[in-house]
């Protein structure tokens, strides 16, 4: 059975363009189109699509409102189309928090170097989201939208850090969890926390980082596959929600504890030594690189600066970015964790480090922050 797609956009030209691209793939089928969010909600209930492509700005009902209603009534994977502007970035992040799983720029020339590559990318994204329905339900964020930092710092106690934080050990042979076990802190000393992610990452990062206390003792390096127009808005959004400081990384700034540095979109974030501490180095992303920013590049750079004194976490994402960088970190003695399959939007990047034995733990998203704090906070 093919993947059934509902195309939603108020532009007849764009509906036709997306539909033509979708039906070029024999695994995909367009079962309907909608001109606004209200019609999308109605057709989603009637047609039971496997994937919905959704515009943001539409008359009668906008895309964000439609996502909220669809996810409340009958959850289905939703791919948002957005403009590469500040307002587009803000609206896309709101749509992701409402339950949409992925996004692409509405101008196809912004996502690929040629027409054929853009077509294949869109088809691949839809198929990845469509296949997701076959093995697990959608995991929606329960984090409420907030406009300012929370004023109460979470209290870290032995009870709160040792209960309800089950993890799983990766099965190297088939990349599935063997059994749930309570994570026990290793007592290892750390100098930095690294997190790499892609599809599903904005919501996953928000869920993890909002649980960190303001006095978290290490710098945090974040690599999220995201366009250049989105990363400043995403960093500012996280900063408004978190106790720690979150900012888009800048070239030459020194690493400091309790600050999370988000790699700028379209660039590469590396680390270099500056006296006894680390310094960020931002380089232009080369055209031949598949990911800008790349988890592999940041992880590999961290292996040279910190050696094994790192906890690196690979969260939900498509592809295998992070595997080779994690391999270098592992060789230097670093600790590598991966998000478990059940809680991933796309189990690509975490699977890549789990199935070859690089990751030592496979942990659910709900337990990830508690496990990280237990492992790194008391070991500082």
| Residue 334 and residue 310 in contact, taking contact as beta carbons nearer than 8 Å | yes
Is there a contact between 50 and 130 (Cβ–Cβ < 8 Å)? yes
Q: What is the DSSP string of 68-107?
A: HHHHHHS---EEEEE-SSHHHHHHHHHHHHHT--EEEESS
Closest by CA to 65, choosing from 85, 83, 80, 50, is 80
Residue 154 half-sphere exposure toward CB, CA atoms < 13 A = 20
Q: What is the DSSP string of 16-68?
A: HHHHHHHHTSTTEEEEEEESSHHHHHHHHHHH--SEEEEESS-SSS-HHHHHH
- The catalytic position among 10, 25, 225, 362 is 225
**Residue 243: both structure tokens together:** 């106790």
Q: 321, 343, 354, 362: which is the annotated catalytic residue?
A: 321
The yes-or-no answer on residue 225 being catalytic is yes
> How far is residue 112's CA from residue 126's CA, in Å, rounded to a whole number?
16
- Which of 10, 19, 50, 198 is flagged as catalytic? 198
Q: Are strands 28-34 and 78-82 parallel, antiparallel or unpaired?
A: unpaired
Cβ neighbours of residue 188 closer than 8 Å, sequence gap 6 or more:
335, 375, 379
User: For residues 261 and 221, is the Cβ–Cβ distance under 8 A?
Assistant: yes
Q: Is 59 exposed, middle or buried (0-12, 13-18, 19+ CB in 10 A)?
A: exposed
Phi, psi for residue 274 in degrees, rounded to 5: -135, 95
152/270 Cα distance (integer angstroms): 33
Cβ–Cβ < 8 Å for 264, 231: yes
Q: Residues 225, 226, 229, CA angle at the centre, nearest 5°?
A: 160
321 annotated active-site: yes
Enumerate the active-site residues.
198, 225, 321
């Amino acid at each position: 059975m093919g993947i059934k797609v509902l195309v939603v956009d108020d532009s007849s030209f764009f509906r036709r363009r997306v539909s033509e691209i979708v039906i070029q793939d024999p695994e995909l089928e367009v079962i309907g189109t909608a001109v606004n969010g209200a019609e999308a909600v109605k057709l989603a209930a009637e047609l039971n699509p496997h994937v919905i492509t959704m515009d943001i700005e539409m008359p009668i009902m906008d895309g964000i409102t439609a996502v909220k209603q669809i996810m409340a009534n009958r959850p289905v994977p939703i791919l948002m189309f957005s403009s590469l502007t500040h307002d587009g970035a803000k609206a896309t992040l709101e749509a992701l928090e409402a339950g949409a799983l992925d996004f692409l720029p509405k101008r196809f020339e912004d996502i690929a170097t040629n027409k054929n590559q853009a077509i294949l990318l869109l088809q691949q994204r839809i198929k990845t989201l469509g296949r997701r329905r076959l093995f697990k339900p959608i995991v929606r964020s329960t984090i409420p939208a907030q406009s300012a930092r929370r004023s109460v710092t979470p209290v870290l106690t032995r009870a709160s850090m040792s209960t309800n934080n089950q993890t799983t050990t990766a099965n190297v042979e088939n990349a599935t969890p063997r059994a749930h076990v309570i994570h026990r802190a290793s007592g290892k000393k750390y100098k930095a926390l690294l997190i790499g992610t892609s599809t599903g990452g904005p919501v996953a990062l928000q869920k993890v980082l909002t649980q960190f206390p303001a006095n978290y003792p290490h710098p945090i390096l974040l690599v999220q596959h995201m366009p250049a127009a989105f990363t400043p808005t995403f960093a500012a959004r996280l900063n408004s929600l978190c106790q720690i400081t979150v900012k888009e990384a800048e070239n030459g700034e020194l690493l400091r504890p309790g600050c999370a540095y988000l790699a700028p979109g379209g660039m590469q974030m590396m680390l270099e030594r500056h006296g006894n501490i680390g310094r960020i180095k931002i380089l232009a992303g080369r055209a031949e690189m598949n990911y800008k920013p790349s988890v592999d590049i940041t992880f590999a750079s961290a292996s040279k600066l910190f050696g094994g004194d790192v906890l690196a976490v690979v969260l939900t994402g498509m592809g295998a970015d992070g595997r080779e960088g994690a391999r270098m970190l592992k060789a230097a003695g670093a600790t590598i964790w991966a998000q478990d399959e059940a809680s991933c939007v796309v189990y690509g990047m975490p699977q890549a480090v789990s199935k070859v034995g690089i990751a030592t733990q496979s942990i659910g998203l709900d337990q990830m922050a508690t496990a990280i704090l237990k492992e790194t906070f008391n070991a500082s």
